[in-house]
Amino acid sequence: MAVGPGKLPEFYPVRGCRLGIASAGIKKPGRKDLVVLELSEGSQVAGIFTRNRFCAAPVILTRQHMAQAASRYLLINTGNANAGTGEKGLNDARACCEALAREAGVDAARVLPFSTGVIGEPLPVDKIVKGIPEALRNLSENHWAEAASGIMTTDTRPKGATRRLELNGKTVTISGISKGAGMIRPNMATMLGFIATDADVEPELLDSLASELGEKSFNRITIDGDTSTNDACMLIATGTSEAETITRNSSSLAAFRAALEEVFLELAHAIVRDGEGATKFVTIDVSQAASQQEALDVAYTVAHSPLVKTALFASDPNWGRILAAVGRSGIDDLDVNRLAIWLGDVCLVRDGGRAGDYSEERGQAVMDQEEITIRIELGRGPVNETVWTCDFSHDYVTINAEYRT
Residues annotated as catalytic are: 190
The 8 Å CB, 24+ separation contacts for 216-219 are: 216/261, 216/264, 216/265, 217/261, 217/264, 217/265, 217/267, 217/268, 218/48, 218/178, 218/186, 218/188, 218/189, 218/191, 218/193, 218/264, 218/267, 218/268, 218/271, 219/48, 219/186, 219/187, 219/188, 219/189
SS3 199: coil
* Contact criterion met (CB below 8 Å) for 39 and 316: no
Q: Please give the Cα distance from 94 to 62 (Å, whole number).
A: 10
Q: Do 93 and 122 meet the contact criterion of CB atoms below 8 Å apart?
A: no
Of the candidates 214, 158, 121, 185, the residue with the CA atom closest to the CA atom of residue 19: 158
**Burial, 31: exposed, middle or buried (Cβ in 10 Å; 0-12, 13-18, 19+)?**
middle
Cβ-based neighbours of 7, under 8 Å, separated by 6 or more = none
